[in-house]
Structure 1
C-alpha cells in the first residue's frame, strides 16, 4: 500500500487543482473536506475522529484511529443566486447565477507508527470562491469576474499521552491562484456616444506555508472536547494585469492598453475551531461546535502593476472584512451495526458588512440544514453520504463611483439572494 499511495495522492492533488476552479457560492471559506462531517453540519468536527478526515478537523484525532485507513471523496455544490431591485449609473443586465456548479475532491491517509504516534497526509481545498457575471452585467464596472483557489497538502503527526488526551500538528503546503476583472466605461471618455467597455484583468499565483495544531481530550466518560488552530498563510501572488479596449483618451488617467507584470500581497486568515461531543448512550451522540475566523486581515486589495502610470500603477479595492463566528449543532444515531444517521444545523456570519459589501462577494449570513448517513457493510469499509441546504439572508450591495477614476466606474446597487444545495460522498477503507 505504501508504494501505491504517493501516486494516489499526486493524482488527487492534480484533481483538486482542476476541479476547485469552481468553488463555493458563499464567499472564500470552504467546509467541504469531509462527507461524514457534512451530515452534522460539521458540528463536533474538532471533537470526533470518525475517519481519516480527522486529519483536517483535528489532527489529534488521528491517535484515535486504531488501524491504517484511507478516506477520499468529493462534494458537489449547486448554487442559485438571484439579483433583485438592481439599479446602476449605466445600462446592463442582472441575470444572477454567476456562480457555477462546483466539484471539490478531498483525500486522506492515516496510519499508526506505534502505540502512541500516528502519521497522516491529506489533500483538500480550505479556501475558494468564484463569481463570473455575464459580459453585459450592470455592475460590471465594480466587478466582472472574481476567483480565488487554494489547494493544500498536509503531512501530519499525532501523539497520544494516554487513553484520554492526544495532540497533533501538521504543516500545510498551499498553492493559491486568483483572477480579478472589471470593466471601465468608455462612454464618458467619448462624450457619452461610445458605449463600449474596456476590460481590466489581473491574474497571479503563489505558494505559501502554514500549520495546523490540535488537542483532543475525554474530559468525562462519554464527553470529548477538541480544539484546532489553523494558521494564517501569507502569499505574494505574481502574474500580470491586462488592460484591453480602453479609449486612448483615458491616457490622462494613466489607463493605457497593455500587459503589465503584477503583484498582490494576500493573506488567508487564521481560524480556531472548538467543539464538544457527548455520547448519551450507545446509540445517540450530540455535537456542538464554534469556529472563529480572523477575516479582518482582509481590508483591501492592492494590485501593483510594474511600468504602469497614474491610476493603473496600483489598482485598489476596499474589502473591509470583519471577524466572524460560526456555530453548529448536530446529532448522530447508531441505528444498527451497519448504519449511522446524522443531522445538524449551522449559523455562519458574513465577513462583509452592509456598508462594504461588493458585487465580488455579495453574500449574507448563512444558515445550513444538513442530514447524512454512514453505511459499514463490514468493519473495513464505510460509505458516508451527506446533504446540506444552505441559504443566506438577503444581501444589499451599494457601490458608488468611488473606486478608481469615478467617471470610468459607474455605481451599482442591488439585493442578492443566495441558496446552495450540497451533496458529498466519501469512501473509507481500513487495513
Structure 2
C-alpha cells in the first residue's frame, strides 16, 4: 500500500469530520432572533445589530448606535451505526453520540456616521464541526478503516468590518472584509494491518491559520413596511499551518476551499402586529472539490469530493403581542450537499428546521432575545472506500454505515440602541 497516500487521505477526512447541522459543515447560529425565525428575512429585517452578519447594506437603516451580544448552545445528536465491511462479515459497531455539543458566541456593533454612511464590526462563525468516532477502531476486528474514523475538533471565527452607504431613500449598498481564524486538532490511530497486527498512529495534527474573505450587499426599501435585501459572501481557500506527522512524512499546510454564499431576503409588515419574511440562500459547495497539502514534500491532492451546490429556503412570521413582548417562528428546508460520493466523515442529508423565539423589551432601547430550533435530518446509508482496507489486500475495501444528524439549538442575546 502507498503509505503516503494513506496518510493524506486520513488527514483530509479528519479535518472535515462531523456535523454543524447545516449543509456541508456550515453553521447557522449567528443570532437568537435569526434562530427564532429560521433566519428568514435576516438579511433585511434589521431589528438589531446582528444583521451585520448577513448583509452590510442593512446598516444604513440604523440612525442610532446598536449593540448585540449573543450565545448559542447547540445540542448536537449525530449517530453512526452498523458500520461494517466485506458484506457485513467484519463489524465495527456503532457510535450513538458521535458529535460534540457546542457553545457559539457572537457580538455586533453598528455605528452610524451620518445620514449616508455607517460602519460596523462583528465576530461570529460561518463554519465549524467536531466529532469523535474513534471508539469503532477498538471493535476487535483484525483491521479497521482508520483513515475514516477518529477524533476531530475544528473551530472557526469570523471577524468582520463593514461599511454601508445610503444612495437615496430606497437604495443602500454595503461591503465588508472577513478575517477568518481557524484551528483544528485531530488524531487517527488504530489497527492498520491484519497479519501481523500493527497498531499505528496515522495522523496527529495541531494546526491553525488565517484567511481573508469579504461580503457585498444591497437593500431596497419599497416603503417603511416592505423591503428586500441581498448579499454575496466571498469565501477564501482556508490555509491551516502546523506540523502534520505520519512516519517520516511531514506537511506544513493544508488547503481547504470554502464556498461562497448568496442570499436574497424579504420583509413585509401586514399590520401593526403581524409581519412575514423569507430567505433563499445558495451556497457554492460545488467549489469544494479538492483538499491539498504543501510543505517539505511535493504538493499533493489529499482528498477529492463531488459535492453539489446547495439551496436553503426559509419562511417565518413575527407577531407583536404588546409593547413588552414580540414572538416569532419559522421553518427552513436545507438541502444536503453530498452527491455521488458519500462519506462517514461528513454524514450529510437534507434537513428541516422548526423554530420559535421571542423578545422581551426591557425598555424602548433594550431587549433580551430568545430562540430555539429543532433540526431534523434523514437516515442515510453511506458507502465509502477505505485506503487501509485496500492496502490490507481485502477483496472488498468498501465500508458501509448508516448515519443521522439531528440537533436542538438554544440561543439568547442582548440588544441595545444607544
TM-score, normalization by structure 2: 0.86
Question: Secondary structure of the equivalent of 2:49?
Answer: coil
Q: Which residue of 2 aligns with 1:215?
A: 218
Q: Which residue of 2 aligns with 1:43?
A: 40
Q: Which aligned runs of 4 or more in structure 1 are off by greater than 6 angstroms?
A: none
Indicate if the aligned counterparts of 1:129 and 1:148 stay in contact, CA closer than 8 A: yes
What is the rounded CA distance, in whole Å, between the counterparts of 1:237 and 1:401 in structure 2?
25
Q: 1:224 offset after TM fit, Å? A: 0.8
Q: Which residue of 2 aligns with 1:378?
A: 363
Q: Which residue of 1 aligns with 2:183?
A: 177
Q: 1:167 offset after TM fit, Å? A: 1.3
Residue from 222, 237, 241 that aligns with 1:234: 237
Q: Aligned-residue CA RMSD in angstroms?
A: 2.5
Q: Which residue of 2 aligns with 1:251?
A: none
> Does 1:196 pair with 2:183?
no
Q: 1:80 offset after TM fit, Å? A: 1.3
What is the rounded CA distance, in whole Å, between the counterparts of 1:99 and 1:68 in structure 2?
39
Q: Which residue of 2 aligns with 1:57?
A: 54
Q: 1:214 offset after TM fit, Å? A: 1.0
Q: Which residue of 2 aligns with 1:350?
A: 336
Q: 1:382 offset after TM fit, Å? A: 0.7
CA deviations on 1:3-50 (whole Å, 9 max, x unpaired) are xxxxxxxxxxxxxxxxxx997245411111111111110000112101
Indicate if the aligned counterparts of 1:241 and 1:305 stay in contact, CA closer than 8 A: no
Mapping of residues 11-410 of structure 1, within 5 Å: 24-26=20-22, 27-89=24-86, 90-137=90-137, 140-179=146-185, 181-183=187-189, 185-188=191-194, 191=195, 193-194=196-197, 196-219=199-222, 222-243=225-246, 257-258=247-248, 260-304=250-294, 306-307=296-297, 314=300, 316-353=302-339, 355-401=340-386, 406-407=391-392
Using the TM superposition, name which of 404-413 and 130-139 deviates more: 404-413
Q: 1:168 offset after TM fit, Å? A: 1.3
Indicate if the aligned counterparts of 1:169 and 1:213 stay in contact, CA closer than 8 A: yes
Question: Secondary structure of the equivalent of 1:141?
Answer: helix
Q: 1:232 offset after TM fit, Å? A: 1.8
> Does 1:417 pair with 2:404?
yes
TM-score, normalization by structure 1: 0.84
CA deviations on 1:339-390 (whole Å, 9 max, x unpaired) are 110000001111112x312111112111100000011120121110000000
Q: 1:179 offset after TM fit, Å? A: 4.4
Indicate if the aligned counterparts of 2:56 and 2:175 stay in contact, CA closer than 8 A: yes
Residue ranges of structure 1 left out of the alignment (5+ in a row):
1-20, 244-256
Indicate if the aligned counterparts of 1:25 and 1:130 stay in contact, CA closer than 8 A: no
What is the rounded CA distance, in whole Å, between the counterparts of 2:343 and 2:152 in structure 1?
11
Indicate if the aligned counterparts of 2:189 and 2:201 stay in contact, CA closer than 8 A: yes
Question: Secondary structure of the equivalent of 2:271?
Answer: coil
Q: 1:331 offset after TM fit, Å? A: 0.4
Question: Secondary structure of the equivalent of 1:63?
Answer: helix
Question: Secondary structure of the equivalent of 1:53?
Answer: helix
Q: 1:153 offset after TM fit, Å? A: 0.9
Residue ranges of structure 2 left out of the alignment (5+ in a row):
1-16, 138-143
Indicate if the aligned counterparts of 1:146 and 1:360 stay in contact, CA closer than 8 A: no
What is the rounded CA distance, in whole Å, between the counterparts of 2:164 and 2:371 in structure 1?
27
Q: Which residue of 2 aligns with 1:8?
A: none
Question: Secondary structure of the equivalent of 1:55?
Answer: helix
Tell me: CA distance 1:225–1:378, structure 2 relative to 1, closer, same or farther (3 Å). same
What is the rounded CA distance, in whole Å, between the counterparts of 2:362 and 2:393 in structure 1?
63
- The total of aligned residue pairs comes to 390
What is the rounded CA distance, in whole Å, between the counterparts of 2:68 and 2:224 in structure 1?
28
Tell me: CA distance 1:122–1:401, structure 2 relative to 1, closer, same or farther (3 Å). closer
